[in-house]
Chains A and B, each alone.
Chain A
Amino acid sequence: MTKSYSGLRILREGLRNHKGWGAAWRSPNPGPEYDVIIIGGGGHGLATAYYLARTHGVSRVAVLEKGWLGGGNTGRNTTAIRSNYYYPESAALYDLSLKLYEGLSRELNYNVMLSQRGMLVLSHSEPEMELAARVVNAMQINGIDAELLDAKEVKRRAPLLNARADARFPIHGAIWQGRAGTARHDAVAWGYARGADALGVDIIQNCEVTGFLMEAGVCKGVETSRGRIRAGRVGAAVAGHSSVLADMAGYRLPIQSYALQAFVSEPIKPVIDTIAFSPSYGAYFSQSDKGGLVIGGGLDRVPSYGQRGNQPMQEAVLSGLVELAPALAKVKLLRHWAGIVDVTPDSSPIIGPSGVEGIYLNCGWGTGGFKAIPAGGYLFAHLLATGQHHQIGRPFDLGRFQTGRLIDEGAASGIEH
């Protein structure tokens, strides 16, 4: 067990020139067999491993990561965390996640810098205000903190935003969730990794899965770039590349891969103290603790696995952002990049059996995977440990595409989540 982190320990290490810090996690070689193998060392995979060991006492667990842990969408997103959802099913899932986030730094003894600075979802017309009220009512009925703000209150909370009446999309008001916020994305992956490692989980980086070990139609393990590894159950948490694994193992998914871009500006002194999202302008942003504006928008229009930005979408998102906050015109863009996300027909995730015995799925998170990491891990661990759905996870089973019971937030609120 690595020694625990604290301010005091930093002082002590400071005096002895930081000679006492140990590895945050080991770099073990793969063992021959595990109870559970999780493919994908991103936030969801690492959180799953952590809760398997922590909550279900399953300690013979390996996380197999093709590259470096947290290197997928966990390390590429815009770090927003929220549970401002319309349907009870979504609300239960994402609020479980938010609740777990609220205790995460202390649980993991690793500061993930959860910053509950609140989130504005802006409305720019009377019909949008009606939709906003409908969402706020649904959230309150679902037991989630929500307020409907008028234009004056929005201006008070975010004076940076374009409050002019002659703006193309004048601000009429907003949905406010105070508990929403941001967290340091890398820290979430690293914290779970350190926690899982301490509980005996083998985190194996640079280990690519090249095939599945099938016996009589049942998956008994995986072939990897570092040899064959047997397992009781295999969980796939490889958002963005879920279809690639599916093709390898012989199950099929209702998932299309798209690049989702993100942008960060040069650091400036604090200009906005919340997350602001304008569906009409097609952009949202917040400001990191380092001072950079972290900016996001919609999916690229071309389905792809190419992890790079596409210019038309950059221009759409950034012009929308500057219309939303005109003072930002002078701020310089420092870096932009893209992650590959799984997009399902209803933009809701898939948690459940894959259709191939022995293989289970955690995928389809679309643009919203980061905020769901703790819940995704928690529910997936439950599924892998027991073979049964947790009740919060059940509605997200693959079966919904046959029953037609989709969970499409866009359908209800007109706002794609």
Chain B
Amino acid sequence: MRDDSARWDPAAGLDREAFQTPAVTLKILRPNRQTLISGPYPAALQCANVETATGWPEAALGDHYAVRLRRDRILVINGDALSDGWHAAKGVAVSDMTGGYAMLALGGPKAFDLLRRGTEITPDAASKSVLRGFHGYPVMLYSHGAGQFRLHIPSAMVDGFWSLLADLARQLE
């Protein structure tokens, strides 16, 4: 039996300083709530009390908004608390996922160059879903205003993902 504690740098989770280089800035955001809503798209929007759910490349704005994950699933950032479970009347399923995803803000002049290192993405290739594979990590990626991006990553992966972004950022010239 081996003790591999030393082999892995201690996990910092969400408690970490912002990462800053001339090329990019990266920091952790802590939304009050993240809520997963599954069901027919209109029903999901109505339940979330939002007009639309953001995809790519359009930008999400403000603090309370929804992003589109699947044909029949959205993630609501902030907004009202909803009870978990099956909402028969609306025909939607709701789960609190506030602690399930770490939320990162990426900015800086080379932010998009950094993103291109992890996934084949262009500003014009539209996609309804913000979910994509990023260097093997399952992320949500969307714009939050010009040159500003937000990423959500399963919270158990944030340590690895953060250090990957830091490694990739070092390659930017």
* Residue ranges of A at the interface with B (Cβ–Cβ < 8 Å): 126, 165-166
The answer on a CB contact under 8 Å between A165 and B1 is no
Question: Could you give 4 example pairs across A and B, Cβ below 8 Å?
Answer: A126-B1, A126-B2, A165-B7, A166-B7
State which size class the interface on B falls in: under 10
B1 / chain A contacts, CB cutoff of 8 Å: 126
A166 / chain B contacts, CB cutoff of 8 Å: 7
Q: How far is the CA of A336 from the CA of B11 in the complex (A)?
A: 39
**Considering only CB atoms, which chain A residue lies closest to B1 in the complex?**
A126
Q: How far is the CA of A126 from the CA of B1 in the complex (A)?
A: 7
Give, as a whole number of angstroms, the nearest-CB distance from B24 to chain A.
24
Give, as a whole number of angstroms, the nearest-CB distance from B154 to chain A.
20
B2 / chain A contacts, CB cutoff of 8 Å: 126
Interface residues as binary, B1-32 with A (CB distance below 8 Å gives 1, 0 otherwise): 11000010000000000000000000000000
Grouping DSSP codes into helix (H, G, I), strand (E, B) and loop, the A interface class, with mixed when no group exceeds half, is loop
**Considering only CB atoms, which chain A residue lies closest to B6 in the complex?**
A166
A165 / chain B contacts, CB cutoff of 8 Å: 7
B7 / chain A contacts, CB cutoff of 8 Å: 165-166
**Considering only CB atoms, which chain B residue lies closest to A168 in the complex?**
B7
Give, as a whole number of angstroms, the nearest-CB distance from A150 to chain B.
14
Q: How far is the CA of A126 from the CA of B7 in the complex (A)?
A: 16
**Considering only CB atoms, which chain B residue lies closest to A167 in the complex?**
B7
Q: How far is the CA of A166 from the CA of B7 in the complex (A)?
A: 6
**Considering only CB atoms, which chain A residue lies closest to B7 in the complex?**
A166
Q: How far is the CA of A379 from the CA of B7 in the complex (A)?
A: 51
Q: How far is the CA of A165 from the CA of B1 in the complex (A)?
A: 14
**Considering only CB atoms, which chain B residue lies closest to A126 in the complex?**
B1
Give, as a whole number of angstroms, the nearest-CB distance from A162 to chain B.
14
Q: How far is the CA of A166 from the CA of B2 in the complex (A)?
A: 12
**Considering only CB atoms, which chain B residue lies closest to A125 in the complex?**
B2
Q: How far is the CA of A165 from the CA of B7 in the complex (A)?
A: 8
Q: How far is the CA of A139 from the CA of B7 in the complex (A)?
A: 34
A126 / chain B contacts, CB cutoff of 8 Å: 1-2
**Considering only CB atoms, which chain B residue lies closest to A316 in the complex?**
B136
Q: How far is the CA of A165 from the CA of B3 in the complex (A)?
A: 11
Q: How far is the CA of A165 from the CA of B5 in the complex (A)?
A: 12
Q: How far is the CA of A222 from the CA of B2 in the complex (A)?
A: 62
Q: How far is the CA of A126 from the CA of B3 in the complex (A)?
A: 12
Q: How far is the CA of A166 from the CA of B6 in the complex (A)?
A: 9
Interface residues as binary, B28-68 with A (CB distance below 8 Å gives 1, 0 otherwise): 00000000000000000000000000000000000000000
Q: How far is the CA of A126 from the CA of B4 in the complex (A)?
A: 12
Give, as a whole number of angstroms, the nearest-CB distance from B60 to chain A.
30
Give, as a whole number of angstroms, the nearest-CB distance from B163 to chain A.
13
Give, as a whole number of angstroms, the nearest-CB distance from B94 to chain A.
35
Give, as a whole number of angstroms, the nearest-CB distance from A55 to chain B.
51
Give, as a whole number of angstroms, the nearest-CB distance from B10 to chain A.
15
Q: How far is the CA of A166 from the CA of B1 in the complex (A)?
A: 15
Q: How far is the CA of A165 from the CA of B8 in the complex (A)?
A: 12
Q: How far is the CA of A317 from the CA of B95 in the complex (A)?
A: 39
Give, as a whole number of angstroms, the nearest-CB distance from A34 to chain B.
53
What 4 A-B pairs are tightest by C-beta distance, nearest first? A166-B7, A126-B1, A126-B2, A165-B7
Give, as a whole number of angstroms, the nearest-CB distance from B152 to chain A.
24
